[in-house]
Amino acid sequence: MSDIHLVKLCVGADSLDDLLGWEKARGAVSYIHTRNRPTRWEELLDGGSLYWVIKGVILCRREIVSFDEEADHWRVGLSTKNILTEAQPRRAFQGWRYLKPEDAPRDIIEGETDLPPDMMKALKEAGVW
C-alpha cells in the first residue's frame, strides 16, 4: 500500500455533483494533466489516490493507476471509480500536494452516511456507489 497520496483542487466545481457530471460527460476518459510529474510518482502507483478538494473540502478520491509523458505535460491515469470520503477541510493551494495516509479522510462505506436519499440515488447512478 502506498505511503503517499495526492490532493488536488477541483477547479470550477461548486459541488460533488459538478465533478460527477463532468466525469460522466467525458465517458471512459479517466485522467488529469499536470505540468510536472511528482517526484514520488513510483510510490503513488503502489495504491496511491488522488483526493479531490471541492469548495475547500475533500469529498472523494480516485486511485492513481499510471503516469504517462505527453509532449509538454504528464497525464495521470485514474481508476474509473470515485470513492466518497468523509468531508475534510483544506485551504486553497495551487497544483497538487502530497497527503500521508494517516492524514487522509476515511472512505465512506455505503449505508454509513446521512446523505439525502435523492443524492445517494444520484451517486449510485453516477457509478460512485
* Mean pLDDT on 105-116: 73
Transcribe 19-34 into DSSP letters: HHHHHHHHTT--EEEE
Query: Residue 66 is inside which H or E element, if any?
Result: strand 57-69
3-state secondary structure of 107: strand
Arithmetic mean of pLDDT over the chain? 85
d(CA 85, CA 110) in angstroms, rounded, equals 11
What the block records as the C-alpha cell of 16 is 460533488
What the block records as the C-alpha cell of 116 is 439525502
pLDDT of 119 above 70: no
Domains of the chain by start residue, with CATH:
5-125 (2.30.130)
| pLDDT tens per residue across span 42-93 | 999 999 999 999 989 999 999 999 999 999 999 999 988 889 998 899 988 8
121 DSSP assignment: H
pTM assigned to the model:
0.81
Q: Are 44 and 34 in contact (CB under 8 A)?
A: no
* Mean pLDDT on 111-115: 62
Q: What is the pLDDT of residue 118?
A: 63
Categorize the per-residue pLDDT at 115 as very low, low, confident or very high, splitting at 50, 70 and 90.
low
49-54 and 31-34 as β-strands: parallel, antiparallel, unpaired?
Answer: unpaired
Q: What is the pLDDT of residue 112?
A: 62
Higher pLDDT residue, 2 or 113? 2
96-99 and 5-9 as β-strands: parallel, antiparallel, unpaired?
Answer: antiparallel
How many residues belong to the chain? 129
Q: What is the pLDDT of residue 28?
A: 60
Q: What is the pLDDT of residue 116?
A: 62
